[in-house]
A and B are shown apart, each in its own frame.
Chain A
Amino acid sequence: MIRSFSLALSVAALTAAVAQAQELRIGLSSEPTSADPQFHALNPNNALALHVFGALVDNDETQRLTPGLARSWKPLNDTTWEFKLQPKATFSNGQKLTPRDVVYSFCRVPFVEGSPGPFSYAIKSVVAMETPDDETLIIKTATPDPLLPNNLISVNILNADVFGGGKNIKFKPGGCEDFGGNPKPVEFNNPAKAIGAGPYKFVEFTLGSQIVLERNENYWGEKPYWKKVTMKPLSNAGARVAGLLAGDVDMIEAPPMQDIERIKTSGATISQALTSRVIYIQLDQFNDPNWKSPTVKGTDKNPMLDKRVRQAMSMAINRQAIVERIMGGVAVPAGELLPYPMFGSTKGFPITKYDPDGAKKLLAEAGYPNGFEITLATPNDRYINDEKVAQAVAQMWTRIGVKTNIDAMTAGTFFTRRTKYEFSAFLAGWGSATGEISNSLVALSVSHNPGKGLGTTNRSRYSNPQMDALVIKATETIDDKEREKLLQQASKMVADDVGILPLHFEIRPWALKKGLTYKARSDENTLAMGVKPGPSN
């Protein structure tokens, strides 16, 4: 009698525990700005959209492409792609996913009302779309675009019927024929309208307060473990850690490094992934006789035009020491712009050796035996320990005779001043959105060409036409092997020129309460689908 009673009790307790365990509460470091998956090309928004909507192409923890709402894709020729949709894919309202929904979604991308960061860049090569049957989609591009599938990761698919999409919608780059209704972003705050084909659906979206998701029982793919997911924006790092330790949330993004030991001793686990974000320094290399580099003192010329000087400045940096002592191990030293084995990176790419004596010698050879003076600019609230890293670099440079001052500022001011070329040297970071090195090279190393959208963040004005040609050829090469070879060559060329000084790749940590594990992702997305109960490893 007593035994069966206690058995009943423990069964009840177990069921209660399981019922409770079905909810996952996540503390977000930055909040999505909208429930509309096409509103703002921003990491938190993309991560949320993946729960509810989903794109044709997905990527795994290491940013390799995997099937999403499309089960397969292949190039038919240089400018034509064929995508096959998942036959079982349905929306949370039970409707089947059709190619028309995809066309409607692509049509809306450039026309989202008030979008501060549209996804237009992802589909700007697309000129036509055809839907030969219920599961096939043909996409034509103006020029060969090997990165189309990579870019489509961030283009979320909407349900055309919910918003009154046209029946005979036809894709046109400047605006579609028979487009039909175009919802305002706020309409997505209404869970009844925000219908997607993702593993979760909205229950509540309250800006600033919380986002509540519920498992989509109609989901076509692998059923996620958690029935209910609550996301709370806890932008203050201390509040996030306290929330985890107090048991308010089960998982937090980006715990601050100084708290990691404390989190571990409380029994919680840390899950981390090497990201595609490289922290680098750019040195002013503007080759113009009338240009006076803004913060260089002690010489009339721009010393950094001399490769030996750049080489010396790179050799002066002890990357290993920065990674160990300042980054507390949540980084690895970098030699190029993307960590291996991501696409276009090279195994065992050489990392500049720390050699202060050699650096001094090179400086003297270049005609600067007494060095010169420079200011290193850095944001102080953007990357992990950004200002501290800059200070360390300044000391290392000063040691070889390049007297270095630090100009640290908030990210907003930093980017504005960088755009105006106000820095002779600055520290910043870049995460490859596509997981390919072409993305980083095009943005940081290719010569600035606003008309073609090249070198948009090349604020050192490093320029090597040979390298440019290689990268541009790569971005038009559909064949993966061929493209990878071109990119590897280009990356080596930048390193040989010392065009940019890569410092390290960031590691992104997550903290989870005892008994949970997370498949940490290099794209930094926090996905409830990747969180599972189980032993920590």
Chain B
Amino acid sequence: MLVYLIRRFAQAALVVAVMATVVFVSMYAIGNPIDLLAAQDASDAEKAALARELGLDKPLWEQFFIFAGNALRGDLGKSFVYNEPTLKLILQRLPATMELALTALVLSVALGVPLGVYAGLKPDSWFSRTVMSGSILGFSLPNFWIGLMLILFFAVELKWLPASGRGETVNVFGVPISLLTWDGLRHLFLPALTLSLYKAALVVRLARAGTREVAMQDYVRFARAKGLSYRRIVLVHIVKNMMIPVVTVIGLEFGSMIAFAVVTETVFAYPGMGKLLIDSINRLDRPVIVAYLMFTVILFVVINFIVDLIYAAIDPRVRLVEAKG
């Protein structure tokens, strides 16, 4: 177990270091933010002073070593535009994005698992077929288009739900949460649904395949022969075993939901991390872009790790050791 952990950490550190280099160098190779930041009437001297203040007058390698040194101490730099620590800016937006991703996750599981299990148990019913064809749409329609259609239908035409932004928030231990207010939930629903549809389609397919496979197994037949109730067979014996691949995939997809809610957040002008990223790219606010990418790299590493742990918890056959050979 310990060896496994250490190896995992070493791997993770390597990934992070390589990513840091790639991200930093590529970011600093494009465009000079001074031209976007400085007032249009600023003189060359004022622009040079600004470059000095932001440390942009130094050669690239020196900038990189300063960045890397600070990063090791947990300091990812200050935003050029807001003059605030980038980490703080990202963490400020994190609750909004987490709420969005979590709601989307819950929606995709709540939609995907029952539909998938049903489709697995009764593969030939018309409802199952409809669900399966529907899931193809979930895969193939682009995310932003779904978002636009939902906005057009529910917000612009019916005026049931707001088209953009985040609703009223309540502070819980200093963290603004919008899940607890009606206004907040109303604002959350459409973007979360948009974000969840692709995942829900994925879960439906996995759940159906898993259910069909497990339902054929001997122990299920045996359970049936023993006279267990249908309900118990499905919920305990089939669903629990079928969930293993679903958890893995959902875990990985959760990371991507947090990191790449970018499109959905942009379409819905939802003030999360993704929108911060897009705004920062438009303004060439390099430290924020670099910090954001570093943040997502670390997030993925951590989520992967947690997924492995949950996996082991569900399936006792999985051992947290390295396979030999």
**B45: chain A residues within 8 A (beta carbon):** 450-451, 453
- Residue in chain A with minimal CB distance to B93: A208
Most buried by A among B32, B44, B155, B266: B44
| B141-192 with Cβ < 8 A to chain A | 148, 151-152, 155-156, 159, 162-166
- Residue in chain A with minimal CB distance to B279: A235
Q: Select B36's contact among A207, A210, A411, beta carbons within 8 Å.
A: A411
Contacting pair A239 B46 (CB below 8 A): no
Contacting pair A235 B31 (CB below 8 A): no
Contact with A along B46-78 (1 / 0, CB 8 A): 100010011000000000000000000000001
A118-B46, A238-B148, A433-B41 are contacts. A243–B165 as well, Cβ < 8 Å?
A: yes
**A33: chain B residues within 8 A (beta carbon):** 81-82
Contacting pair B284 A412 (CB below 8 A): yes
Contacting pair A121 B284 (CB below 8 A): no
Chain B contact residue count (CB 8 A cutoff): 52
Q: Select B80's contact among A116, A239, A248, beta carbons within 8 Å.
A: A116
- Residue in chain B with minimal CB distance to A244: B163
Contacting pair B267 A120 (CB below 8 A): no
Contact with A along B98-122 (1 / 0, CB 8 A): 0000000000000000000000000
**A235: chain B residues within 8 A (beta carbon):** 266, 269, 275, 278-279, 282
Whether A236 is near chain B, meaning CB under 8 Å from some CB there, is: yes
Quote the shortest CB–CB distance from B98 to chain A (angstroms).
15
Contacting pair B40 A208 (CB below 8 A): no
Contact with B along A397-428 (1 / 0, CB 8 A): 00000000000001111011011000000000
Whether A4 is near chain B, meaning CB under 8 Å from some CB there, is: no
Contacting pair A443 B269 (CB below 8 A): no
Whether A185 is near chain B, meaning CB under 8 Å from some CB there, is: yes
Most buried by A among B78, B268, B278: B268
Whether B321 is near chain A, meaning CB under 8 Å from some CB there, is: no
Complex CA distance for A248 and B163, rounded to whole angstroms: 7
Q: Select A185's contact among B83, B96, B275, beta carbons within 8 Å.
A: B83
Quote the shortest CB–CB distance from B160 to chain A (angstroms).
9
* Chain A positions near chain B (C-beta within 8 angstroms): 27, 31, 33-34, 39-42, 113-121, 185-186, 207-210, 232-236, 238-240, 242-243, 245-248, 381, 410-413, 415-416, 418-419, 430-431, 433, 439, 443, 450-451, 453, 456-457
Those 7 A-B pairs whose CB atoms lie nearest each other, nearest first: A415-B35, A114-B83, A453-B43, A412-B31, A41-B39, A246-B155, A450-B44
15 contacts between A and B (CB under 8 A): A40-B37, A118-B39, A207-B82, A208-B276, A210-B165, A234-B165, A235-B275, A236-B266, A239-B266, A242-B152, A242-B156, A248-B163, A419-B35, A450-B43, A453-B43
